[in-house]
């Protein structure tokens, strides 16, 4: 049985059009506007010469992330979280995910007692904002690190690997790469995959709300995810030219 066409006529293994625009916030240590189809996330890196209390005096650094959406990033307006007085569970989950993923490719000892904060602010949301945040935040972070090396603040780049992330899902029984919002709303399974340039996994988060998935489906989602991540890393490399492994 032939599969139905996707809403935007992409192939099931095709990424949405990708664009990285560097230095969107020129006063930040590094910043990039990542666009993946209609999804746009502004990622900015801030360096501070301090670390959280639990790390003080150990000579190691820290990388953390924050995430938010502008109210009209969405089709109907989403109220600001400050009105409720606290970040939602979804926001906290994403912030923890992005920070964890970034730390997995950073040499925290080589960073020294410094904190890099990556702000990921969604200007337009059309699905995949958390994975776009990881992919974009990696670029903003690497740019900030390159400048710290150029300024001799750091003697070498405290990075071990490229890092990118993508979403995959199962729509009407068919595994598909890089879901947009419409597809995501109808997906039986939603999977987020973050991988390093040497082909290892940093995060696998696969969730079935309406329908559990089989081993075979897991394998196909995995194959599609690697395909997409390889293309995202190619775009990262074009901008950054880092001497690091990539898919």
Check binding of 71 to its own copies (CB under 8 A): yes
180 binds its own copies (CB under 8 A): no
Instruction: Rule CB under 8 A: say whether 184 interacts with its own copies.
Output: no
Binding-site member from 73, 179, 240, 244 for its own copies (CB under 8 A): 73
Q: 55 or 206, CB closer to its own copies?
A: 206
Half-sphere exposure of 155 (CA within 13 A, CB side): 3
- Interaction with its own copies in 21-60: which residues (CB under 8 A)? 24-28, 31, 42, 44, 46, 48
Tokens of 175: 């595994």
Q: Does residue 151 interact with its own copies by CB under 8 A?
A: no
C-beta separation of 214 from 3 below 8 A: no
Nearest approach in angstroms of CB 65 to its own copies is 11
- Answer whether 87's CB lies under 8 Å from 81's CB: yes
**What residues contact 72, with CB distance under 8 A and at least 6 apart?**
none
Could you give the angle at which helices 129-150 and 215-240 cross, rounded to 10 degrees?
A: 30
Give the interface with its own copies as residue ranges (CB under 8 A): 24-28, 31, 42, 44, 46, 48, 66, 68, 70-77, 80-82, 85-90, 92-93, 95-96, 100, 103-104, 117, 119, 121, 123-124, 161, 195-196, 198-214, 218
């Amino acid at each position: 049985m032939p599969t139905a066409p996707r809403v935007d006529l992409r192939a099931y293994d095709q990424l949405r059009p990708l664009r990285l625009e560097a230095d969107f916030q020129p006063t930040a240590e590094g910043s990039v506007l990542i666009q993946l189809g209609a999804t746009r996330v502004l990622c900015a890196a801030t360096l501070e010469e301090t670390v959280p209390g639990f790390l003080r005096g150990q000579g190691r650094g820290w990388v953390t992330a924050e995430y938010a959406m502008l109210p009209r990033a969405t089709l109907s307006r989403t109220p600001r979280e400050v009105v409720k007085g606290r970040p939602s569970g979804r926001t906290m989950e994403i912030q923890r995910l992005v920070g964890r993923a970034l730390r997995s490719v950073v040499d925290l000892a080589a960073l020294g007692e410094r904190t890099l904060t990556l702000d990921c602010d969604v200007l337009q949301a059309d699905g995949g904002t958390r994975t776009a945040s990881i992919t974009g935040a990696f670029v903003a972070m690497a740019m900030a690190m390159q400048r710290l090396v150029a300024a001799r603040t750091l003697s070498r780049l405290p990075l071990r690997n490229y890092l990118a992330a993508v979403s995959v899902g199962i729509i009407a029984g068919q595994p598909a790469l890089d879901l947009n919002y419409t597809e995501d709303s109808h997906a039986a399974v939603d999977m987020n995959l973050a991988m390093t340039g040497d082909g290892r996994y940093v995060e696998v988060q696969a969730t079935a709300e309406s329908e559990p998935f089989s081993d075979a489906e897991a394998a196909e989602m995995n194959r599609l995810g690697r395909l997409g991540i390889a293309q995202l890393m190619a775009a990262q490399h074009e901008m950054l030219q880092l001497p690091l492994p990539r898919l």
